[in-house]
Amino acid sequence: MAKINPYLNFNGNTEDAFNFYKSVFGGNFITLMRFKDMPEGTPGQPAQGDKIMHVALPISGDNILMGSDTPDSFPPVNTGTNFSISINADSEKEAEKIFSGLSAGGKVKMPLAKTFWGAYFGMLDDKFGIQWMVNYDYTTK
């Protein structure tokens, strides 16, 4: 069965963003490639140098958060405006930990609260402008 792996693009601060996400979720990067690590002569190498070509961070089970810096040859991205990432926690406690970690330095749009649809749910923009939804679903437990 197919799975969804969110892919985030940044304007040169992917490394800062993914180190932040690693501090929230733990674990280790399964991939961290820089543009300078591409085969010599590949377009963008070495001009992009230390920028991140691809990074992958397992965040829960087989879910992987991926990202990269936008090459200079592409237009800048507008982060956090065209998608949200939904995280489904295994408990209220885990939802609170994740929400607290991700909201540090960011903006809470909807605090975590019990909802009419049977979930503990909140929304935020993290300090990098990425939109998140944190959810613990009571009805499936």
Q: Which of 9-18, 42-51, 73-82 ranks highest by mean pLDDT?
A: 9-18
Structure confidence at residue 120 (pLDDT): 96
Single out the residue in 18, 35, 69 at which a domain terminates: 69
Return the CATH number at 27.
3.30.720.100
| Tokens at 40, concatenated | 């010599």
Together in a domain, 114 and 64:
no
Together in a domain, 91 and 41:
no
Which domain, by its residues, includes 28? 7-69
Q: Is residue 41 part of a domain?
A: yes
Does the structure show a pLDDT above 60 at 23? Answer: yes
To the nearest whole number, what is the mean pLDDT of the chain? 87
Structure confidence at residue 139 (pLDDT): 76
Give residues with Cβ within 8 angstroms of 10, minimum separation 6: 17, 52, 67, 68, 69, 70, 77, 79, 128
Strands 84-88 and 131-137: parallel
Structure confidence at residue 4 (pLDDT): 66
Would you say 84 and 121 are in contact if contact means Cβ atoms under 8 Å apart?
no
Structure confidence at residue 1 (pLDDT): 42
Together in a domain, 91 and 61:
no
Q: Is residue 121 part of a domain?
A: yes
Together in a domain, 64 and 106:
no
Q: Is residue 50 part of a domain?
A: yes
Together in a domain, 88 and 65:
no
% of the chain residues with pLDDT over 70: 89
Together in a domain, 13 and 62:
yes
Domains in the chain, number: 2
Q: Is residue 63 part of a domain?
A: yes
Structure confidence at residue 136 (pLDDT): 93
Structure confidence at residue 128 (pLDDT): 92
% of the chain residues with pLDDT over 90: 53
What count of other Cβ atoms lies within 10 Å of the Cβ of residue 83?
11
Return the CATH number at 133.
3.30.720.110
Q: Is residue 55 part of a domain?
A: yes
How many Å apart are CA 128 and CA 97, to the nearest integer?
Answer: 18
Q: Kindly report the backbone phi and psi dihedral angles of residue 112, in degrees, each rounded to the nearest multiple of 5, phi listed first.
A: -60, 130
Each residue of 90-137: pLDDT tens digit?
A: 999 999 999 999 999 999 999 999 988 889 999 999 999 888 989 999
Together in a domain, 109 and 63:
no
Report yes or no on whether pTM surpasses 0.85: no
